[in-house]
A and B are shown apart, each in its own frame.
Chain A
Amino acid sequence: MAFLEINHLEKHFGSTRVLEDISFTLEKGQVLAIIGSSGSGKTTLLRCLNFLETPDQGSITLDGKVLFDANDPATRAKQEIRKKRLHFGLVFQSFNLFPQYTALKNVMLAKELLKKESPDYKENRKAIQEEIRAEAEGLLERMGLSDRMSNYPQQLSGGQQQRVAIARALALSPDILCFDEPTSALDPELTGEVLKVIRGLKGSDSTMIVVTHEMEFARHVSDKVIFMADGVIEEMGTPEQVFDNPQSEKTRQFLNKSREEY
């Protein structure tokens, strides 16, 4: 059984069907790249995985545990949703850092709030705080931001902000980290530094799903590629299969077009 299994996911907004019969699997430590033209449903898929949207049909199974099944009311209950969200992390296209906190605090906040709920928090407050801070500092260091920890988001470049956002998502050690076009709000010069950081996460057995328009990145970093068109998976396979030997006409057209732009 695969680490992540998505079965027959379907999502409507009103009468428009945005996702249709989405099924795929992902192994632990693998990187999945999702490509596809604008409006094909890539963001909606990531939002479903992060429980920001509720699918109308289908199921999400992680590590053998059914997190969501549209036909099982128990898995649709709102109370569990918070715990489920912690299995997934999401890095937004527009960063969405908290502007009133420093880079370091952005990374620490969620973990602090989570730990505050544990029964031993009161006794070990200091030690726990220290630990959270050390972890956050370590993450920011890994993102190449050691000298930016006490800066506020507005004082950081887009690339730096996105790297803080990645550290923030990593702080909760999600099983699967999702990226929604992490570089498309960035100037071309800043794209490289963010992609480098994401590439660096590979191998440290992070399982990742990356929605991207960076075809070279998708080809070289991913283990699996999905091409989406109009809410369905049009083509899926290894990077070699999808990029060098696409079976679908739509995929070929899309790739040709993105090569021209490149």
Chain B
Amino acid sequence: MTELIQKIIEQFPVVVGSLNEGFLQTLKLFAITLIGALPLGLLISFCSKSSFAPLRAVTRFVIWIVRGSPLMLQLLIIFYGPGLMGFPVWGGGQSGRFWASAVAFILNYACYFSEIFRSGIEGVPKGQQEAGQVLGMTRGQIFVNVTLMQMIKRIVPPMSNEIITLVKDTSLARVIALQELIWNAEAFTTTSHGISGAIWPLFFTGVYYLLFNGLLTLLLGRLEKKLSYFQV
């Protein structure tokens, strides 16, 4: 037992260095997914509510495909698909893997977000929109000045859930060999940075996820509290 602890203490600086690198990649994927999927999700939610029936049908179909199939499969298809069809767009390096992951995650999460946005918008009573209309506001003005804030308040709790799931989902990108947190940890079980057969780094990644999600929970909770000055 003491032998193991001694070994861990010895390996700790090297392992943490490598895990930090992986976590940075995880964070990057997390951030780019949010930046891309939030606006895209809003756009998709508008399309899925469009009064133009074909657009609505296509959007709902895409949402069904994306939500109905595993994200891991989507990653594989987006990364390997273009190459198999003769258009290798990603390249083989880490940067190609990162951008392929980003596209897959943004698409996938945008579809989930769009459903949250949609229910958030639909949850705002019709009377709010009508009050804006009789006051001579345009549709855009009503969305920005009346609906948006009430929608945000409604969607913070379900959004928080998705965001925390996203943090954990980023580890799926290892299926296309993106060197994120778990990938780097797993490497120590074989050989990495001169360390072989160490399984504890894999367990230790849990600390990263837990701390980061703890921080997010705190921030999102604060946002929820900040919006509690009004009721919807």
Contacts and interface: CB of A to CB of B under 8 A. Distances in A.
A27 B214 CA distance: 66
Given A98-B146, A152-B230, A154-B230, A52 B130 contact: yes
A114 B146 contact: no
A205 to B, nearest CB: 21
B211 interface: no
Contacts of B141: 113
Interface residues of B, number: 22
A50 B134 contact: yes
A88 interface: yes
B232 interface: yes
A92 interface: yes
A96 interface: yes
Interface residues on A, range: 20 to 34
B128 A96 contact: yes
B230 to A, nearest CB: 5
Given A85-B136, A110-B137, A154-B231, A94 B127 contact: yes
A96 B133 CA distance: 12
Contacts of A2: none
Contact of A99 (B132, B133, B230): B230
B42 interface: no
Interface string B131-150: 11111111001000110011
A88 B130 CA distance: 13
Contacts of A85: 133-136
Interface string A64-104: 00000000000000000011011011101010111110000
B131 to A, nearest CB: 4
Contacts of B138: 82
Interface string A157-175: 0000000000011001000
Contact of B231 (A92, A99, A110, A113): A99
A109 interface: yes
B143 to A, nearest CB: 12
B87 interface: no
Interface string B190-232: 0000000000000000000000000000000000000001111
A110 B135 contact: yes
13 contacts: A83-B136, A86-B136, A92-B127, A96-B127, A96-B130, A97-B131, A99-B231, A100-B150, A100-B230, A109-B145, A152-B229, A154-B230, A172-B135
Interface of A: 50-52, 82-83, 85-86, 88-90, 92, 94, 96-100, 109-110, 113-114, 152-154, 168-169, 172
Interface of B: 125, 127-128, 130-138, 141, 145-146, 149-150, 153, 229-232
